[in-house]
Amino acid sequence: MVDIGHVDLLVQEGFYTNRSDLVRMAVRNQLALHANVVKQAVARRTLTVGLQHVGREDLERAVATGQRLQVQVVGLARIADNVTPELASAAIESVTVL
């Protein structure tokens, strides 16, 4: 309840036109703050139509950054010949091919 009081005070002092204006601005600020994380999440969850080739470099980069890939394809998924089962297991969270 104290937070709402602070919000109302900021509105009364003219910093925001109303509560919704403050909430919109707070959400935008948080999205901007975490934009890189959101961008990475969207890239990881992108559905590929056609052929998706997963190379050793892609998997090594995922492991190095602590990410696990979700390979989602409508068509064909191909993992490079030089990818070891251990690397694939460490880097790939799931594979969905439709």
Q: How confident is the model at residue 1 (pLDDT cuts 50, 70, 90)?
A: confident
Structure confidence by residue, pLDDT tens digits, 29-82:
999 999 888 877 767 667 788 999 999 999 999 999 999 999 999 899 999 999
Measured distance CA(92)–CA(70) in Å, rounded: 6
Measured distance CA(52)–CA(54) in Å, rounded: 6
Sign of CA dihedral 30, 32, 33, 35: positive
pTM: 0.54
Measured distance CA(8)–CA(34) in Å, rounded: 26
Domain ranges across the chain: 1-33, 37-98
Sign of CA dihedral 82, 84, 90, 96: positive
